[in-house]
């Protein structure tokens, strides 16, 4: 990996944090009806950062980003402070047994986005922040989010591979 990327990861995560909220709002407003699309640039960046940054440092960074995410978007502390470090451990666990390939990245992304979205839904139901039914959540939120993030990774993966210095030999 290029040495400068290690030092730019916090800045990249902060930029992804801002883009997440803006793109989620944009695509939700463009979507028909009550469909809600959530972008997960942070998770996509996490797919690449886990390969090069020690897990402990990644957990600290994603905990801080989860703290910001909770305060800025939810006004309640605890949901993403818990979920984002879990995501880092989950991605790291998958990469211990799987090689870095485009297909495995998509599968890992789908699993991790499912964990984040479903975990956030369960926490919201547990803390009585939402009374949304499971069926409506899956049809109008989870499925469009999974499709959108999969397409997003398809578009961004070549650029992120260049930024992170990943070659076909990696």
The predicted-structure confidence for 29-67, as pLDDT tens digits, reads as follows 999 888 999 999 999 999 988 887 888 999 999 999 999
State pLDDT tens for residues 117-154: 999 999 999 988 889 999 999 999 999 999 999 999 99
- Return all residues near 69 (Cβ < 8 A) that are at least 6 apart: 17, 42, 80, 84
Nearest residue to 93 via CA among 49, 50, 52 = 50
State pLDDT tens for residues 68-90: 999 998 888 889 999 999 999 99
For the chain, give the longest Cα–Cα distance.
Answer: 49
**Region at 155 (left for phi over 0; alpha for psi -120 to 50; beta for the rest):** alpha
Region 21-26: what's the mean pLDDT?
92
Percent over 90 (pLDDT), the chain? 64
**Residue 8: per-residue pLDDT:** 82
**Residue 129: per-residue pLDDT:** 85
**Region at 2 (left for phi over 0; alpha for psi -120 to 50; beta for the rest):** beta
Please check the confidence at residue 5 and state whether its pLDDT lies above 80.
Answer: no
Please check the confidence at residue 170 and state whether its pLDDT lies above 50.
Answer: no
CA 145 to chain centre: 11
Cβ atoms < 10 Å from Cβ of 26:
12
**Residue 167: per-residue pLDDT:** 56
């Amino acid at each position: 990996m290029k040495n400068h990327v290690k030092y730019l990861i916090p800045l990249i995560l902060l930029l992804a944090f801002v883009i997440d909220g803006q793109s989620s709002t944009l695509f939700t407003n463009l979507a028909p009806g009550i469909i809600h699309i959530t972008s997960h640039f942070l998770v996509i960046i996490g797919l690449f950062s886990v390969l090069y940054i020690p897990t402990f440092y990644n957990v600290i960074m994603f905990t801080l980003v989860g703290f910001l995410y909770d305060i800025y978007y939810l006004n309640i502390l605890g949901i993403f402070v818990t979920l984002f470090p879990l995501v880092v451990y989950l991605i790291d666990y998958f990469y211990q047994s799987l090689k870095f390939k485009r297909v495995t990245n998509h599968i890992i992304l789908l699993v991790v986005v499912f964990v984040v979205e479903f975990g956030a839904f369960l926490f919201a139901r547990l803390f009585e922040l939402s009374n949304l039914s499971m069926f409506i959540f899956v049809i109008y939120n989870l499925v469009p989010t999974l499709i959108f993030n999969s397409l997003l990774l398809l578009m961004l993966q070549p650029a992120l591979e260049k930024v992170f210095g990943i070659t076909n030999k990696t």
